[in-house]
Structure 1
Amino acid sequence: MSIHIVLYQPEIPANTGNIARTCLATNATLHLIHPLGFSTDDKMLKRAGLDYWYHVDVQHHDSIEELYQKYDEKHFYYIENFGTTNYNEVDFSDTSHDWFFVFGRETSGIPKDLLVGKEERCLRIPMAQSDQVRSLNLSNTVAIIAYDVLKQQNFPNMH
Structure 2
Amino acid sequence: MLVEPEIPQNTGNIARLAAATQSPLHLLGRLGFRIDERSVRRAGLDYWHLVTLEQQLDIAHFRHHHPNARLRLFSAVAPRSYLDADFRPGDALVFGKESVGLDPELLARMPDDVFGIPTLGPVRSLNLANAVSIVLYEALRQVGALASAAPG
Structure 1 residues 45 and 69, CA gap change in structure 2 (3 angstroms): farther
What residue in structure 2 maps to residue 46 of structure 1?
43
Which of 135, 138, 141 is the matching residue for 2:131? 141
- Counterpart CA distance in 1 for 2:51 and 2:148 is 16
TM-score, normalisation: structure 1: 0.84
Does 2:75 correspond to 1:84? no
- Could you list the runs of 5+ residues in structure 1 that have no partner in the other structure? 1-5
How many residue pairs get matched? Answer: 147
Instruction: Decide which structure has greater strand share.
Output: 1
Q: Is the 8 A contact 2:40 2:48 kept in 1?
A: no
- Counterpart CA distance in 2 for 1:133 and 1:88 is 19
- Could you list the runs of 5+ residues in structure 2 that have no partner in the other structure? none
Which of 99, 106, 118 is the matching residue for 1:126? 118
- Counterpart CA distance in 2 for 1:87 and 1:45 is 35
- Counterpart CA distance in 1 for 2:100 and 2:64 is 25
SS at match of 1:59: strand
Does 2:53 correspond to 1:61? no
Q: Give the alignment's Cα RMSD to 1 decimal.
A: 1.9
SS at match of 2:93: strand
Structure 1 residues 7 and 124, CA gap change in structure 2 (3 angstroms): same
Q: Is the 8 A contact 1:46 1:53 kept in 2?
A: no
Which of 141, 145, 149 is the matching residue for 1:151? 141
Using the TM superposition, give the Cα deviation of residue 115 of structure 1 relative to its aligned residue in structure 2, in angstroms: 2.2
Identity of aligned residues (%): 35
Q: Hey, which bits of structure 1, 4+ residues long, moved more than 6 A?
A: none
TM-score, normalisation: structure 2: 0.88
Higher relative contact order (CA 8 A, sep 6+): 1
